[in-house]
Amino acid sequence: MPLKATSLSEQIAEHLGDRIIRGELAPGAKLPESELAKQLNVSTNSLREAFRVLEGRHLIEIQPRRGARVCEVNEEQVRELYDFLFLLLAQLAARAAETWQAGEVEELAKLVPQLEERHAHGDLAGAHQLVFQWLPDMLRFARNTYMARTISDMIPLLQRYSFIALTEETTEFDVSITIFQRLLGNVLMRKADDAAAAISEYGENQCRIVLRAIAKRSAAA
């Protein structure tokens, strides 16, 4: 894996975080410093900095004298994330509908056709990635630094759980596109309550799918 340029620790964190999100690094997997540093051809100091970034993103935990390992996924964590984060995302959607100005919603309007195109070509992983490339740009509608930072901190964990939902039920993305279409229409028509309801429905649907996937994994273990 070639790693170069500035913010090396951030690049390492992005690489490892993507592997965690996609399930290539399983829940509970240990992350041995020396072995990983050798694989990535980086120093252990850079790797430790990356670990701290990933810990802040709720993807790994660092245990004194035991090192780092990938965070487990359980029902309580999933329920708590979706319960808390989608309260904020519903508020974000409502604020977008109420406050958007010319030049601010063009990217949102482009999202749905791009998702439809990737979905038509069977590129569900690419469509999933596209959503999370778009989401940080939408934080401008929070009009609140603390809200934006809180949502941003939770995005990697949501990305991890939503990938579980996508791999559990590929039809989940059909539902997502329908809801995004409704969300866009509500935002453009400044229907704040309906925009918030669309995001809440999306979160509730996805949460149920993730919980089913966890239950299946537990039963198979």
For the stretch 15-53, pLDDT in tens is: 999 999 999 999 999 999 999 999 999 999 999 999 999
CA angle at residue 55 from 123 to 137, to 5 degrees?
50
pLDDT given for residue 54 in this prediction: 96
Work out the mean pLDDT of the chain and round it to a whole number. Answer: 91
% the chain with pLDDT above 90: 68
* Contact criterion met (CB below 8 Å) for 75 and 211: yes
* Contact criterion met (CB below 8 Å) for 161 and 73: yes
> What contacts 188, CB < 8 A, 6 or more positions away?
105, 109
Count other C-beta atoms under 10 Å from residue 168's C-beta: 18
Domains of the chain (ranges, CATH numbers): 8-70 (1.10.10.10), 75-220 (1.20.120.530)
At 89-142, the pLDDT tens digits run 999 999 999 999 988 888 788 888 998 899 888 888 888 888 898 888 889 999
Give me the residues paired with residue 60 across strands. 70
Single-letter amino acid, residue 9:
S
